[in-house]
Homo-oligomer: A and B are copies of this chain.
Amino acid sequence: MKELRGKAVADSITEYAAKNAEMLKEKGIMPKLAVIRVGARPDDIAYERGIIKRFGSAGVEHEVFELSEDCTQDDLNSCFDRVNSDSSIHGILMFRPLPKHLSDEHMKRTIDPNKDIDGMGYVNQAALYSGDKNAFAPCTAKAVMEILDYYDIPTTGKRVTVVGRSLVIGRPIALLLISADATVTVCHRKTADLVSELKKADIIVAAAGEPKMITSDMIGDGQIIIDVGMNLDEEGKLCGDVDYENAAPKADVITPVPGGVGAVTTSVLLRSTIEGALRSANG
């Protein structure tokens, strides 16, 4: 069994992004990410901290637009409109879910597709659905593809079982994998025989959001396992959807949690911001 660690992937992507950022700066373009945050949920703050660190290490700018948790829809929309029309900003990330009294509909309908680096808006969702290779997909889904790519794991003709059908990861990763010529099966809570769907897979992508739900007896021998889960176990420790200690020995290769997919996400966000800046420079 070999562990597929995210750090090497993230470093490689960051290096590539930093080079492109240098090139853009020489042309007078300073790539910049805008983060829109309503309130201060601990998850958002933690992710934001990771972004600040990653972007700092690549010498790429970011700006956080913070709104109070009780802001109005108008407050949010006008903040968003300002950021969306600001030509010095090349990527926009809006933390979600928003507080219940707020809607992201205006954002999804109006976001500049070239700045929509986390694939939140309708145009990029439709492009991803359509198999358009230029679509910005949600960064976590893209991170899975980056890991497969970095570790030279082919997808063409491979049987991939995706566990989970969420909009954040299950659906986008399924569509990315279909476009990457994999034979994709999407499983979820209502799947009648999850074990047989798991055992037949060449590659398992676990994205159910259920701590340690995939155990050794549910998988086959020598599989490729990508664990997208980010859960807390009974002891409050971060864990994946795969029961790592129990299942990992059976796998050919597996991503750990923490240190796997999660470690790649901010680097994908960085590279997509640079890509956004390149698009605005070219168009």
Interface 9-residue window, one of A73-81, A155-163, A265-273? A155-163
Contacts of A182 in B (CB 8 A): 190
- Asked whether A176 is an interface residue with its Cβ less than 8 Å from the other chain, the reply is no
Give complex CA distance A128, B126 in Å: 9
In whole angstroms, what is the CA distance A167 to B192 when docked? Answer: 28
A211 to chain B, nearest CB (A): 22
Chain B residue at minimum C-beta to C-beta distance from A191:
B183
Q: How far does the alpha carbon of A197 sit from the alpha carbon of B184 in the complex, in Å?
A: 10
Q: What's the nearest-Cβ distance from chain B to residue A202, in Å?
A: 9
A178 on the B face (CB < 8 A): yes
In the assembled complex, A131 has its CB within 8 A of some CB on chain B: yes
**Interface 0/1 of A183-201, CB less than 8 Å to B:** 1111110111100010000
**Contact-residue bracket for chain A:** 20 to 34
Chain A at the B interface: SS class: mixed
A129 adjacent to chain B (CB < 8 Å): yes
- Return A283 CB to nearest CB of chain B, in Å: 14
Collect the chain B residues with CB atoms within 8 Å of residue A158's CB: 192
Whether the Cβ atoms of A159 and B128 lie closer than 8 Å is: no
A105 to B157, alpha carbons, bound, how many Å? 32
Interface contact A186-B188, CB-CB below 8 Å: no
A35: CB under 8 A from chain B?
no
The CA-CA distance from A122 to B158 in the complex, in Å, is 30
Nearest chain B CB to A141's CB is how many angstroms away? Answer: 12
Contact pick for A185, options B157, B184, B192, B193, CB 8 Å: B184
* Least distance between A29 CB and chain B CB atoms (Å): 26
Known contacts A183-B192, A185-B185, A191-B183; decide if A171 and B129 are in contact (CB<8 Å): yes
Q: Is A117 at the interface (CB under 8 A from chain B)?
A: no
Confirm or deny: A181 has a beta carbon within 8 angstroms of a beta carbon on chain B. yes
Cα A156 to Cα B192 with chains together (Å): 9
A123 in contact (CB, < 8 A) = yes
Residues of B within 8 A of A178 (CB): 165, 171, 186, 188
> Inside 8 A of A129's CB, which chain B residues have their CB?
125-126, 128-129, 167, 171, 175
Verify if A54 is at the interface (C-beta below 8 Å from B). no
Cβ of A246 within 8 Å of any chain B Cβ, yes or no, is no
Q: Which 8 residue pairs of A and B lie closest in terms of their CB atoms, listed nearest first?
A: A125-B126, A122-B126, A157-B192, A181-B190, A185-B185, A129-B129, A183-B191, A122-B122
